[in-house]
Amino acid sequence: MSNPLHPTKIAPRQPATGEALVQHFERSPVGLILFGPDRSIVAANPATLELTGLSSAILHGAKLHRFLAAEAPERLEARIFDEVDETGRWMEQMDVRTSIADASPVMMSITLVGRAEHPAAVRYVGTIIELGQQRWIENESSRRAAELAALSALTVATGSSHDPAAMLRAAAQVIVEGLEVDACWIHRYEESGRKELALAGASSYLHPTLHLSPRMKPDAVNPGVLRAIETREQVITSELLDRSIATLVHAPLLAAGDVVGVVSILSVEGEKLATHNSELLRAVSYQLGTAIQNIRLLEAITEHQAQLEAKNEELEHLVEELRVADRLKSEFLATTSHELRTPLNSIIGFMSLVLDGVCKNEAEQQELLEHALRSAKHLLELINNVLDLARIEAGRVPFDIRDVPLQRLLREVGDTLEVQARDKDLEFWISPGPADIQVRVDEVRLRQVLMNVVGNALKFTSRGHVAIAVDTPVGAPFVEITVEDTGVGIDPERRERLFKKFSQADASTTRRFGGSGLGLVIVRELLEGMGGAIRIESEGEGKGMTATITVPRSGMTDEDSPSATAG
């Protein structure tokens, strides 16, 4: 059996050079073929065998057209060799048939060597350089580069935004553009309950009507998604899209061992997704999973921060309230003790005078004791009012709110105070309004209010009249009781002070009229506690005063309460 590669068959004249050429023939990565004068193959090197996938036994004696991928390979072969015979050489890019491909691009050259008259010798030498492989390597490396670029763009997209929605939208777009696919949808589990996947980002070149359900229950709509979640592996499905079949890959998004969502990538050219190896998709889904995890953390932190801020604000508010309450309490204590000390000092003073025996006679002693008694009564009134106010402010006064007939209540108050009016020779009128008018109040507390306000009117009026009237505006949810007098009145600028604790219109008032300066404060607190209000009007000193008390009318709702309307 003849071996075409045996050195004796192509014996060179100088053995050393021949040996080197044989080694080159054996080891060259370029395919080398030797042809005899009859244009049939004498020998082919291992690179040629690898390239064509044919054995040396088949190649030996075969003609070139045997593996030319052309329409008329025999004619092409004749043309090639004719050209070589004529010009000594030929080189062209063409397709050859190999065991794995019908047409694989190569660069082929054939050179004329030896002498035509030597029948056994080599007449032509051919070289074959595989171009397909070259191109495949180029394609592969540029594809890898594109994938890396896409991945790094994704890293930038998922790392740069603090807005989760914008970030996932950008990620979907980067995937579509970077991987040159047709659509990408990113679904993430909703925080509440983790039952539903919600569309968090999408980018698509497809017709807008073609999209995955924005809200997919994994157990119902898309089996591919369900499988990806269950198996934690990529799931490839084929989807009928118009008249073509698209490839859809679902990849679970994992973060800290948890499935946090699914990325679905669709390509109309199915092989595009097949060429992107699963490693790349794994990297993409890892990147997205981490991004979603970061979003969750960010959302949790933001929410936590908002809660903390709200709590802080609440606390600050509370601290401020406490501070104010504390200051008021201290002020109240200081003023109260001062106010209590005044009558107490008077009592001590008068009693000391009596005990020291400074009185000339019994009548003088009697007078001093009467002063002491008046101071003691004033002290008692003060203490009662202070306790009353403290209880109201602490919210310890329960209001027993019921429907109370206003006319009856006003008559009772009038009957009680009429004596005072008569004593001072004042006219005292009551217009108690319609008989059926009822107010929703605590009867005892409203009586206390009226006694105080009407009592004040009588106290501060020495001439003229005190008049009580009832106004029931049609449809209004409240009733107005006005107490008008022709007494000392009050300066407009001092009017507001009347509702301050222990404040009387002026310091001489106590001396002239007695009183604690707490009456109106208690009145206002009581009215507000029942959903009512009070306002005071006076045109000035000596011009009398009108107090208007507003209370809820029976049969009205809370929202209509007068405190909202009366000032």
Q: Shortest distance, CB of residue 328 to ligand ADP, whole angstroms? A: 17
Question: Position 197: which residue type?
Answer: L
Q: Shortest distance, CB of residue 415 to ligand ADP, whole angstroms? A: 20
- Restricted to residues 525-564, the positions that interact with ligand ADP (CB under 6 A) are 545
Of 31, 218, 519, 531, which one interacts with ligand ADP (CB under 6 A)? 519
Question: Taking CA 445 as the corner, what is the angle to CA 444 and CA 446, rounded to the nearest 5 degrees?
Answer: 95
Q: Which is nearer to ligand ADP, 85 or 491 (CB)?
A: 491
Q: Which is nearer to ligand ADP, 248 or 430 (CB)?
A: 430
Total Cβ atoms within 10 A of residue 333: 10
State how far the Cα of 360 lies from the Cα of 101, in Å rounded to an integer: 145
Nearest one of 149, 224, 238 to 187, comparing CA atoms: 224
Question: Position 458: which residue type?
Answer: L
In contact, 371 and 411? CB cutoff 8 Å: no
- Restricted to residues 406-465, the positions that interact with ligand ADP (CB under 6 A) are 452, 456-457, 460
Stretch that binds ligand ADP, among 253-261, 300-308, 509-517, 555-563 (CB under 6 A): 509-517
Q: Which is nearer to ligand ADP, 204 or 456 (CB)?
A: 456
Of 54, 265, 498, 530, which one interacts with ligand ADP (CB under 6 A)? 498
Q: Which is nearer to ligand ADP, 122 or 383 (CB)?
A: 383
Q: Shortest distance, CB of residue 377 to ligand ADP, whole angstroms? A: 13
Phi, psi angle pair for 512, to nearest 5°: -80, -40
Q: Which is nearer to ligand ADP, 516 or 554 (CB)?
A: 516
State how far the Cα of 527 lies from the Cα of 522, in Å rounded to an integer: 9
State how far the Cα of 185 lies from the Cα of 168, in Å rounded to an integer: 9
Q: Does 392 bind ligand ADP (CB under 6 A)?
A: no
State how far the Cα of 491 lies from the Cα of 505, in Å rounded to an integer: 9
Token pair recorded at residue 248: 């859809």
In contact, 128 and 68? CB cutoff 8 Å: no
Of 98, 127, 173, 516, which one interacts with ligand ADP (CB under 6 A)? 516
Stretch that binds ligand ADP, among 371-379, 397-405, 411-419, 498-506 (CB under 6 A): 498-506
- The 3-state DSSP class for residue 502 equals coil
Q: Which is nearer to ligand ADP, 211 or 494 (CB)?
A: 494
Q: Which is nearer to ligand ADP, 263 or 518 (CB)?
A: 518
Q: Which is nearer to ligand ADP, 174 or 520 (CB)?
A: 520
Q: Which is nearer to ligand ADP, 281 or 505 (CB)?
A: 505
State how far the Cα of 562 lies from the Cα of 548, in Å rounded to an integer: 12
State how far the Cα of 469 lies from the Cα of 214, in Å rounded to an integer: 69
Stretch that binds ligand ADP, among 83-91, 169-177, 302-310, 511-519 (CB under 6 A): 511-519
Nearest one of 201, 197, 256, 257 to 232, comparing CA atoms: 257
Nearest one of 567, 565, 407 to 475, comparing CA atoms: 565
Stretch that binds ligand ADP, among 54-62, 164-172, 324-332, 483-491 (CB under 6 A): 483-491
Residues 68/69/72/74 CA torsion (nearest 10 deg): 10
Contacts of 427 (CB under 8 A, 6+ apart): 421, 464, 465, 466, 467
Q: Does 67 bind ligand ADP (CB under 6 A)?
A: no
Token pair recorded at residue 542: 């000596």
Stretch that binds ligand ADP, among 93-101, 311-319, 432-440, 508-516 (CB under 6 A): 508-516
- Give me the residues paired with residue 441 across strands: 402
Q: Which is nearer to ligand ADP, 286 or 499 (CB)?
A: 499
Q: Shortest distance, CB of residue 539 to ligand ADP, whole angstroms? A: 12
State how far the Cα of 316 lies from the Cα of 323, in Å rounded to an integer: 10
Total Cβ atoms within 10 A of residue 526: 24
Q: Shortest distance, CB of residue 418 to ligand ADP, whole angstroms? A: 17
Angle between helices 131-160 and 278-355 (to 10 degrees): 10
Q: Which is nearer to ligand ADP, 240 or 507 (CB)?
A: 507
| Alpha-helical runs (H) found in 460-540 | 492-495, 508-513, 519-529
Of 517, 531, 532, 562, which one interacts with ligand ADP (CB under 6 A)? 517
Question: Position 485: which residue type?
Answer: D
Q: Which is nearer to ligand ADP, 40 or 448 (CB)?
A: 448
Q: Which residue has the tokens 């605590």?
A: 442
Q: Does 287 bind ligand ADP (CB under 6 A)?
A: no
Of 293, 416, 509, 563, which one interacts with ligand ADP (CB under 6 A)? 509
Q: Does 505 bind ligand ADP (CB under 6 A)?
A: yes
Q: Which is nearer to ligand ADP, 246 or 488 (CB)?
A: 488
Q: Shortest distance, CB of residue 504 to ligand ADP, whole angstroms? A: 3
Q: Shortest distance, CB of residue 520 to ligand ADP, whole angstroms? A: 3
Of 43, 106, 479, 490, which one interacts with ligand ADP (CB under 6 A)? 490
DSSP state letter for 487: S
Stretch that binds ligand ADP, among 22-30, 179-187, 213-221, 517-525 (CB under 6 A): 517-525
Total Cβ atoms within 10 A of residue 379: 19
The contact set with ligand ADP (CB under 6 A) reads 452, 456-457, 460, 485, 487-490, 498, 504-505, 509, 515-520, 545
